[in-house]
Amino acid sequence: MNGLYTIILLILSNVFMTFAWYGHLRLQQSGISNNWPLIGVIAFSWGIAFFEYCCQVPANRLGFSANGGPFNIVQLKVIQEGISIAVFCVITNILFQGTHIHWNHILAFLLIICAVYLVFMK
């Protein structure tokens, strides 16, 4: 069960992180944050990133094999990267509708999936 909780928390973590890293760009495109000083944009992103850490830290603690979880530290990192790319693709296609995914993006994503597979091989 810890493995499932880890995956769910990592997905939530990456949703928050994607909004923290790229959401301010969407706010700028829509004109909401055009007059914000850079420190305001940073504070906005940090506010979102707080929730990212509230999910990421428990995910890694639950999932880490030394704490009774099913994953070693390398597996946790590679899983997180795979989830990160998937979440990024979904959110950017919703927020930035002019963004298109091309064949090379799909290939890169498939290679990350291969990395996830490889890290679990014995």
A 10 A CB-CB count for 83 gives 20
Average pLDDT, the chain: 89
- pLDDT bin (cut points 50, 70, 90) of residue 44 is very high
How confident is the model over 53-67, as pLDDT tens digits? 999 999 999 999 999
Pairwise pLDDT comparison (87 vs 96), residue with the higher score: 87
Does the pLDDT at position 113 exceed 90? no
**Residue 64 phi, psi dihedral angles, 5° rounding:** -70, 130
Tell me the mean pLDDT in the region 97-114. 83
Two tokens, residue 78: 């590679």
Residue 74 buriedness (CB in 10 A; 0-12 / 13-18 / 19+):
exposed
Predicted pLDDT of residue 27: 85
Predicted pLDDT of residue 72: 93
CA gap 122, 105 in Å, rounded:
28
pTM tops 0.85, yes or no: no
